[in-house]
Structure 1
Amino acid sequence: MTRKPKIRDLLDESACTHSPTKKNACNAPTPGATTGGCAFEGSQISLFPYADAAHLVHGPMTCVGASWETRLTHTSWAGRDLTQMGFTTGITTNDVVFGGEEKLRSSIDYIVERYAPEAVFVYSTCVTAMIGDDIDMVCKQAAEAHGIPMVPVHAPGFVGSKNLGSRIAGEAVLTHLVGTQEPETSSPFDINLIGEYNVTGDMWQYTPLLEELGIRVLSTLSGDGRVAHIRSAHRAKLNVIVCAKSLVSLTRKMQERYGTPFISVSFYGKRDTSASILAIAEALGDAELVARTKQLITREETRLAQQLAPYREIFEGKKAVLNTGGNKSWSIASALQDLGFEVVATSVKKATEADKEKAREYLGEAGILMTNPGQEQAKVIDQTGADLLLAGGRSLFTAIKKKIAFADVNQEKKKSYGGYAGLLNLAEDLKNALQNPVFKNVARRAPWEK
């Protein structure tokens, strides 16, 4: 019996408030949509931070070459960090004709023998999905032979967007890992962090505060995660979705299957970090915990206000345009507002309906929601008189052309902007950007030019 996820069910998510009101399913594939990131990329991004698992791409060499190590996801895993290894079956034309299942079997055997992973994630790609390789059967046989989980991930790029790929990854974890092992210990305040990938160490900015309150992170999907921990995730008292609404299908099904409630939070900016820590405490339902949480928030906010005071003087009256993807369209906007910026526009091209709603809430009616930022951002900068553009590296040229400051806030960033401490990092980087003379001088004509 096949265990492939039903794509239509993942597109029509009952836990999404917008699904019943839309004519088309959320994130349904459209021609050319995968140019912004395909389903394979989304699934690998969601699972790749498991450093104690091997990630085997069953497809041509270019699939792993184009996607490997695209995000700086930190791990505290003491063993060999297998995310530093790019594993692929390297499918060739010959395999397309005769099938690639035998190559997949030998690849799994090779990995288990030489690297001893806690699990192997096997990613289907466009080529191997089209030729019909049965990765479910191969993974089942390999799991019986080696005694460790083999997780088939059915997310070939052509099925849809990066967002859909994340949902498929969540489905694979729920089907093959969650509930397959009991935790060594348990506590009344065990939680799972879902959709937190610990990019540049974001997770480590706020988990010490949770630990101080006695809230234990039982497992994550998947930042600084461990295979053994996610296998026992069904024993958590609460699922906490960190920004990534694409994984709401996973949390909804865990609620139906294990009775685990879930909430959605963001740890970007002072307001959202405080609200999120308090929301977790309230969802756990302990009055004493809530009281201690409020005291901790007051302490942290007082300290942060003193540290941010000199930055707010620099940022007063400054306008910012934000061109990034998904939940960052509103979460980073919130952080910018906490620093004193007026966010005049944000990109919602890759945002869900819920993200667009949040972006409108934060920016107000006057805020511009860009649906085609590549074409719009230059005009918006002129129209609003913006002082700062925050985006991915490709938009640097727009900032240079318009002679305004620029900061890279995309997945390639090197610093954490999460939590209270991350907001200070963001403030320092934006101060340096605004005071950097290069942006005003680099596009200026040379003295000898007319």
Structure 2
Amino acid sequence: MKNHIINAFQEPACQHNQTQSNQQGCSPAKPGQSNGGCAFDGAQITLLPIADAAHLVHGPIACGGNSWERRGSLSSDSSLYRYGLTTDLSEQDIIFGGDEKLFRSIDEIIQRFHPPAIFVYSTCVTALIGVDLDSICHQAAKRHAIPIIPVNSPGFSGSKNLGNRLAGQALIDYVIGTKEPPFETPFDLNFIGEYNIAGEMWDIEDLLKQLGIRLLSRITGDSHFHEVQWAHRAKVNMVVCGRALINVARHMEDAYEIPYFEGSFYGAKQTSSSLMKIAKLFGDQRLIDNVSELIKNEEEKLEEALKEMRNVLRGKRALLYTGGVKSWSVISALQELEIEVVGVGISKSSQEDIARIKDLVGEDALLINSRGARVVLETFKEKQGDILIAGGRNIYVALKERIPFLEINQERDHAYAGYTGFIRMAQHLVNAIQHPVWRLANLEAPWEESNHDRIFQ
């Protein structure tokens, strides 16, 4: 496990992780320093969307309970991934060993659900007591003749982003390249780091189908285990979510000569750019022409649909408090709506993300490198913001301070990617800013003498 973690920090394709003579590279976090999501949490975010596999948490029930049903990843078929499966280690198991309990749990899952594979996640407790997860999974896999995959990402090993990468390494070591697809096409594409939050990928897949592009493997939103196995037969890879699974894309380029690029589907410009990059990597002129025609038609329809909403949003000031790919891709979408971004959270962004943010927002916007409501609120008031766009954990801060709020992170229920999602985002921004509750909430109390006559006249 230690070697896996060290290797994750030596990823050559990640510029942020390369130690240079004048710059300190990434280093593993100390236990207790994983505020904002631990490595176990990050591994589950990456792998849980493989919908027909079983996902077993080997540890106390709190580890399974705290991570269950917290993501908005949707499936069009299997619902096995929604089961909260855990070995529920007790104090007795910790003292005398939980190996037998893990074997029994695997047996029960196979007997009850008949999954094509099982992912078994280590936790802080099982790593500290020295459970040999690799050996147990290997023995169980031989006994049951299905893949049983150890995911060595205990929470204390590092941040959520490290957990993403360790999960990607598990896919490299045990899954990708272990099965062949039923057939191949000239335009087979993989998405890497796309989790189908609120069904976003379905809107993008509709665009790809219009172009004759087949989404061969989804890594991992709305995916089945077998399609991840044959991902190595794609012709192009697109890395959708920041740099979290860049190790998977780099490995597939080295091992299978599949070119990749990093892109986004937030906003019309990013969506059009990503579609064109996909077409150019396939290298087919007819496909490039078809993409150009589709982009032209979609952007014309988009302009008509956004006309009235853009009049409402023009000149509004937003504070964006998120991380990763959304820290820069959502900025681009907001600027297309003529919203001014006055502050951006960068605590979970890579150096490459931060460079893109600076290019987009210029020198006037504040970059917030701290996790905490106080800094967010101070920035919002200092910059005279009109709306806070952030993750769900910040909604109560916004409500208490009577600030219009839009949820943008992975727990949300609304899809904002692609052309259709962009219209949806614009409508939700208008609704949030114009909602009458904010005017009422900012009035003085009716019993205040200065407000009494105006309220009750």
TMscore range, shorter length:
over 0.9
Provide closer, same or farther for how the CA distance between residues 195 and 311 of structure 1 changes in structure 2, counting only shifts above 3 A: same
- Say which of 302, 305, 309 aligns to 1:304: 302
Q: How many residues align?
A: 446
| Counterpart residue identity of residue 378, structure 1 | L
| Counterpart residue identity of residue 92, structure 1 | S
SS of the residue 2:35 aligns to: helix
SS of the residue 1:144 aligns to: helix
Q: 1:229-262 CA deviation, whole Å, 9 max, x = no partner?
A: 1101111111110023111111111111111111
Aligned 1:84-103 pairs, distance under 5 A:
84-103=82-101
What residue is the counterpart of 2:122 in the other structure? 124
SS of the residue 1:33 aligns to: coil
* Native 8 Å contact 1:403 1:440 kept in 2: no
Cα distance in 1 for residues equivalent to 2:395 and 2:36: 18
What residue is the counterpart of 1:377 in the other structure? 376
Which has the higher mean CA deviation after the structures are superposed, 417-426 or 352-361?
352-361
Cα distance in 1 for residues equivalent to 2:344 and 2:376: 9
What residue is the counterpart of 1:58 in the other structure? 58
What residue is the counterpart of 2:421 in the other structure? 422
| Counterpart residue identity of residue 217, structure 1 | L
What residue is the counterpart of 2:447 in the other structure? 448
Give the superposition deviation at 1:370.
Answer: 0.7
Aligned 1:78-157 pairs, distance under 5 A:
79=78, 81-157=79-155
| Counterpart residue identity of residue 41, structure 1 | D
Which has the higher mean CA deviation after the structures are superposed, 243-252 or 115-124?
243-252
Give the superposition deviation at 1:142.
Answer: 1.5
Give the superposition deviation at 1:404.
Answer: 3.5
| Counterpart residue identity of residue 74, structure 2 | H
| Counterpart residue identity of residue 412, structure 2 | K
Give the superposition deviation at 1:163.
Answer: 0.1
SS of the residue 1:6 aligns to: helix
What residue is the counterpart of 2:34 in the other structure? 34
- Say which of 227, 239, 242 aligns to 2:225: 227
| Counterpart residue identity of residue 35, structure 2 | T
SS of the residue 1:380 aligns to: helix
Give the superposition deviation at 1:97.
Answer: 1.4
Give the superposition deviation at 1:28.
Answer: 3.1
Cα distance in 2 for residues equivalent to 1:405 and 1:394: 15
What residue is the counterpart of 1:434 in the other structure? 433
Q: 1:186-217 CA deviation, whole Å, 9 max, x = no partner?
A: 01111111000001011111111112111111
* Native 8 Å contact 2:41 2:67 kept in 1: yes
Q: 1:126-158 CA deviation, whole Å, 9 max, x = no partner?
A: 000111111111111111122211111000000
Which residues of structure 2 form unaligned runs of 5+?
450-457
What residue is the counterpart of 2:44 in the other structure? 44
* Native 8 Å contact 1:191 1:237 kept in 2: yes
| Counterpart residue identity of residue 143, structure 2 | A
RMSD: 1.7
Cα distance in 2 for residues equivalent to 1:436 and 1:317: 18
What residue is the counterpart of 1:69 in the other structure? 69
Cα distance in 2 for residues equivalent to 1:126 and 1:440: 48
What residue is the counterpart of 2:9 in the other structure? 11
Which has the higher mean CA deviation after the structures are superposed, 210-219 or 194-203?
210-219
Q: With structure 2 as the length reference, what TM-score do the two structures score?
A: 0.94
Aligned 1:321-400 pairs, distance under 5 A:
321-372=319-370, 374=372, 375-400=374-399
Cα distance in 2 for residues equivalent to 1:90 and 1:400: 36
Give the superposition deviation at 1:373.
Answer: 5.0
Give the superposition deviation at 1:338.
Answer: 1.5
| Counterpart residue identity of residue 167, structure 1 | R
What residue is the counterpart of 1:241 in the other structure? 239
Q: With structure 1 as the length reference, what TM-score do the two structures score?
A: 0.95
Cα distance in 2 for residues equivalent to 1:448 and 1:357: 51
What residue is the counterpart of 2:25 in the other structure? 25
* Native 8 Å contact 1:346 1:368 kept in 2: yes
SS of the residue 2:49 aligns to: coil
Give the superposition deviation at 1:270.
Answer: 0.7
